Amino acid sequence: MSEKMMNTAAFEVPKDKFRFVPMEGRTHDKKLETKPVGYFRDAMNRFRKNKGSVAAAWIILLLVLYAILIPIFCETPYSRALTDTMYLNYTKLPPKIPFLGIDGCSDVTVNSGKYHYYRAIAEETGLETIRATYRADYKDPTASGKSTFYDLRVDNYTSMGMLYLTLTGDQFEDIQKWQDEHGIQVIYPAIKDAKQTDANIWYEVDKKGQPKLDKEGNLKSIYRTTTPEDTAYHSLRIAADNDPEHPMAYARVAGTSTAKSYVTRINKYTYFQYRYGFEPGFVFGTNARGQDIFTRLAAGARFSFLLAICVSAINLFIGTIYGAIEGYYGGTTDLVMERISDILAEIPFIVVTVLFQLHLAKKVGVIGALLFAFVLTGWIGMASRVRMQFYRFKGQEYVLAARTLGARDSRLMFRHIFPNSLGTIITGSILVIPGVIFTESSLTYLNIVNLESSTMTSVGTMLANGKDYLATDPYIIFFPALFISLLEISFNLFGNGLRDAFNPSLRGAD
């Protein structure tokens, strides 16, 4: 304005020299041909070039989706059945993923008694229990006695065999109705020898448990027969039950005459179909208590993620404010606050956790106490990071300019300095997440924090439970261990990538 006035004062420009600016084709500076690249876009571009970090980001996304979606969509009557003790009968079933060729079978070496046991299940139920016989009927010179051995590939799902189940009249009736509808045999004939504890032995055996075979090498059945008038069972009958004069009995009747109960031999495989509505097949297998690992791991993962994000957010909040005040004011304030956080930082985390569990677990719950423990010392790292950034930026000219214009302290701190340290802060809070998940899994593994319940679990507890079956059923521990390793690796890769992207000068450090 003043310049213009000066100009007019200096030169008297005649009026006819003036002309209108043409509105089309205005004479600007050269227009920018590309879009302006901001701080975050620049960081994103750099991040995208780091292939490892991008891959890690995708893996994290997959794991998060797994944790979110599986508990919602893959909930079955089986994994939801919490009060149902039936799942105790489906323990340690190996993974079965049909389209990947993982069929739930395992290679075993058994003696002849066990071999006939598997054979008998296959013969009775018509399900294929022995998938392949690698070596049959051989003698092992190191083993004593006359027993011979078989190398087999056994289907763990179909070889579960039979189970004695005591049913009420209504339940008995209901299963029969289902059998008629679906044409699948669930209840199998009762056997003569009521003392036989193993429901799978439907054939004659000697005292050692070896089957007594007839001349053709077939098993001799010991099914119980009944009178044709007995109409309690009126559903499907097995193929061998073809004598109308002496039909087989499908239950041993117990209880009083008014309240009858039926002791039945049911097939675990088909009973599963009747009870839960689908064929048994667990993607990650079941654990030693019969719980589905696939949904349970997802529940544990979901908890881990939620906890880590909560801790990260709370740390960010407290740490930012604390660090900002420290860094901005400096001097005595900084000194006193630093001493406080120094002392807090020196308390071993495990001691904090235990004390919080002992004091607070009854009042705010185990999870609340765990969260408090994480937050008590967790924000210190963030605070020191923010403090450093504030020291770096607070003396710069743009802050001085804002101050001269009369900006308040809080405005200077959070409007002017804070956005500049955002990159470091974001990286820091992302890198907190794997640490929290790792610590949480360690604590639950050691049973210092116990989150186990019918609906809840944690990765650490799953690992601790699976460890007892490391030699016999390694898949129980494999999937939780794989999950946590993948998570830790990809989070660290992702975090490092972010740090490099936001702060290229730090690339390769640490």
Partner 1 sequence: MGKYVLKRIVLMLFTFLIIISMCFILVKLLPNKPAKQFGKDMQLIEMRREALGYNKPLLEQYVIFLQRSLIGQDWGVSEVLYLGQDVWGKFIEKMPATVIVNAYTMLISVPLGLLLGIYAALKKNKWQDQLISTLVVIFVSTPSYVYAFLVQYFLCFKLKWFPFQMNAGYDYFSWSTFVSIVPAVMSLGFGTVAQLTRYTRAELTEVLTSDYLLLARTKGLTRAQTTVRHALRNAMVPIFPMILGEFIGIMGGSLIIEQIFGIPGVGPLYVASVSSATPDYNFFLLLSAFYTLIGLVSGIIVDISYGFIDPRIRMGSRKV
Q: Which stretch binds partner 1 (CB under 8 A): 112-120, 173-181, 401-409, 486-494?
A: 486-494
The only residue of 417, 484, 498, 501 in contact with partner 1, by rule CB under 8 A: 484
Residue 470 gets the label, from left (phi > 0), alpha (psi -120 to 50) or beta, of alpha
Q: Kindly identify the residues of this chain, within the stretch 435-454, that bind partner 1 according to CB under 8 A.
A: 438, 441-442, 445-448
Of 23, 24, 45, 25, nearest in space to 34 by CA: 45
Give yes or no for residue 358 binding partner 1 (CB under 8 A).
yes
Give yes or no for residue 188 binding partner 1 (CB under 8 A).
no
Give yes or no for residue 432 binding partner 1 (CB under 8 A).
no
As a residue count, the chain comes to 510
Q: Kindly identify the residues of this chain, within the stretch 35-54, that bind partner 1 according to CB under 8 A.
A: 52
The only residue of 351, 365, 368, 409 in contact with partner 1, by rule CB under 8 A: 351
The only residue of 122, 350, 364, 422 in contact with partner 1, by rule CB under 8 A: 350
Give yes or no for residue 81 binding partner 1 (CB under 8 A).
no
The only residue of 159, 341, 384, 457 in contact with partner 1, by rule CB under 8 A: 384
C-beta of residue 429 within 8 angstroms of C-beta of residue 312: yes
What would the 3-class secondary structure string for 99-123 be? HHCEECEEEEEEEHHHHHHHHHHHH
Of 86, 68, 69, nearest in space to 77 by CA: 86
Interatomic CA distance for residues 358 and 372, integer angstroms: 12
Interatomic CA distance for residues 445 and 455, integer angstroms: 18
**Nearest distance from residue 234's CB to partner 1, in Å?**
52
Residue 337 phi/psi, 5-degree rounding, is -65, -35
Exposure b/e, 180-198, CB count within 10 A at least 16 = b: eeeeebbbbbbbeeeeeee
Q: Which stretch binds partner 1 (CB under 8 A): 83-91, 225-233, 239-247, 487-495?
A: 487-495
Give yes or no for residue 248 binding partner 1 (CB under 8 A).
no
**Nearest distance from residue 476's CB to partner 1, in Å?**
11
**Nearest distance from residue 459's CB to partner 1, in Å?**
10
Give yes or no for residue 359 binding partner 1 (CB under 8 A).
yes
How many chain residues bind partner 1 (CB under 8 A)?
41
Interatomic CA distance for residues 38 and 67, integer angstroms: 34
Give yes or no for residue 347 binding partner 1 (CB under 8 A).
yes
Using CA of residue 56, residue 60, residue 65, residue 71, what is the dihedral sign?
A: positive
Give yes or no for residue 508 binding partner 1 (CB under 8 A).
yes
**Nearest distance from residue 490's CB to partner 1, in Å?**
8
> Taking the mean position of all CA atoms in its chain, how far away is CA 76?
16
- The contact pattern for partner 1, residues 462-481, with x = CB under 8 A and - = no contact, is -x---x--xx--x--x---x
Interatomic CA distance for residues 146 and 152, integer angstroms: 19
**Nearest distance from residue 365's CB to partner 1, in Å?**
17
**Nearest distance from residue 61's CB to partner 1, in Å?**
17
Closer by beta carbon to partner 1, 243 or else 468: 468
Residue 343 phi/psi, 5-degree rounding, is -65, -45
Closer by beta carbon to partner 1, 132 or else 344: 344
DSSP H or E segment with residue 487? helix 475-502
C-beta of residue 186 within 8 angstroms of C-beta of residue 270: yes
- In the chain, the largest separation of any two C-alpha atoms, in whole Å, equals 132
Give yes or no for residue 109 binding partner 1 (CB under 8 A).
no
What residues line the site for partner 1 (CB under 8 A)? Answer: 52, 342-343, 346-348, 350-351, 354-355, 357-359, 384, 388, 434, 438, 441-442, 445-448, 463, 467, 470-471, 474, 477, 481, 484-485, 488-489, 491-493, 496, 508-510
